[in-house]
Amino acid sequence: MRLLQCTTGREHIQHLRIVLLIFFTTIVCGAQSTPLIDYHQHLLSPEVAKLIGASGTFSASDLIAEMDRAGLRKAVVLSLAYQFGNPNRPPVQDEYARVKAENDWTAEQVKQYPDRLVGVCGIDPLREYAVAEIERCAKNLYLRTGVKLHFGNSDVDLDNPAHVGLLRKVFQTADRHHMAIIVHMHANVTHHRPYGKKEAEIFLNQLLPAAPHSVVQIAHLAGSGGWDDPATDEALSVFLHAMADRDRRVAHVYFDISGVAGLGDAWESKKDEIVSEVASRIRQAGVRRILFGSDGAWTGFTPVKAIAAYHQLPLTKDEISTIDNNLAPYMKVTKQR
C-alpha cells in the first residue's frame, strides 16, 4: 500500500504492467506444460499397414514431426510385430520371419533418432517363438528396453492356466534381460472375453511375481481406450488396493494413460463424470506412477490432441507437472546406455 502511495501515476502504470505481464505469463506457461515423454507410441510399417488394411504408413520421421508439433522430447515406440500372431486375423505365412522383420524394421526406424526414440520389442506371448524373440530383441540396442504385449490382439485369456503358464515364461524372460513389460492387459473386446477383478488378481498373483525386477507398464489405465467400462475400473481397483497396502508385487507397476482422455463414445456425453473419475484414480495410484502416452498418431488422435484431452483432467498444476516430468526407470537406464 505504502509503495503504491509513493509511486507517481506513470510508475503506477508501469508497476501494473509488470504485474499483468507476470499474471499472463503464468497462465500461458501453465497452459503450455507439456509431457517430456510419450510413453505409448507406434509406427506403421508398409507390412503392418497392409495387414490391418490401413491406407498409409507412419514412419519415425512422421512421428518426430508430430512430437515437434506437440513439444514432446521423446517417445517410446512399441513395435506392432504382435499383429502377425493375432489369432483373430487370417493366419499369415512364415509368421515368425515376419515378426522378426517387423521388430527389425522398428529398430531401424528408431535408430534414425536415437536421442528422441526408444524402441520396444513386440510379441504375441502365446506363440511358440515368444521366448526366442525376446532373447533376440534383448541383443538389439533399439529393442532391448522392453517387450510390448497386447492381450486383446493376442486373445490372451487369463482364466486359462495354459495361457498363464506361457505368460509366466515371457515375464521371466523379460525380467532376466532387465526389460520392461508394457502390457495392454484388457482382454479382447470384440469377442467379449472375460475381464475384471478376477483376471486382474491372476495378473497380480501369478504374473507380477514372475518379473519382480521389470518395470510393468499397464497401458490405458488397465482399459482398452476411453473410460466407460466398469470392468476396467474393477481390474484397476485390484492394483490400486495393492498399492494402498504397499504390496511389494506392485512396487514396479506404472500406468500409462494413453487413449483414456479424449477417446471413446462416452467422452463428449459424460465428460465431467469421466474426467473426475480418471483424476481420482490417478490420485489413488499416485501421480509418480502415471505416464503420459497418446498411442498411434496415424488414427488422427495426434499427440497435440492427446495432450489437449489430458489437460482437461481436473488435476492440479503440481500433479500435471509431476506426470509431465515422470521418468520411468527404464528410461533412466536408456539414458546411461
- Using CB under 5 A as the criterion, which residues of the chain lie in contact with Zn ion when the complex forms? 295
Residue nearest to Zn ion (CB): 295
Cβ proximity to Zn ion: between 155 and 295 the closer is 295
Min. distance of Cβ 291 from Zn ion in angstroms? 13
In the 3-class helix/strand/coil scheme, how is 244-255 assigned residue by residue? Answer: HCCCHHHCCEEE
Cβ proximity to Zn ion: between 242 and 263 the closer is 263
Min. distance of Cβ 318 from Zn ion in angstroms? 28
Residue type for 195, please?
Y
Buried-exposed string 154-183: b where 16+ CB fall within 10 A, e elsewhere: bbbbbeeeebbebbbebbbbbbebbbbbbb
Min. distance of Cβ 15 from Zn ion in angstroms? 52
Min. distance of Cβ 22 from Zn ion in angstroms? 41
Residue type for 302, please?
T
Cβ proximity to Zn ion: between 146 and 242 the closer is 146
Cβ proximity to Zn ion: between 196 and 296 the closer is 296
Q: Where does 245-316 have alpha helices with state H?
A: 266-269, 271-285, 303-310
CA distance 330 to 337: 11
Min. distance of Cβ 36 from Zn ion in angstroms? 19
- The residues, any chain, with a CB within 8 Å of residue 81's CB and separated by 6 or more, are 98, 99, 100, 102, 103, 106, 121, 122, 123, 133
Cβ proximity to Zn ion: between 82 and 242 the closer is 82
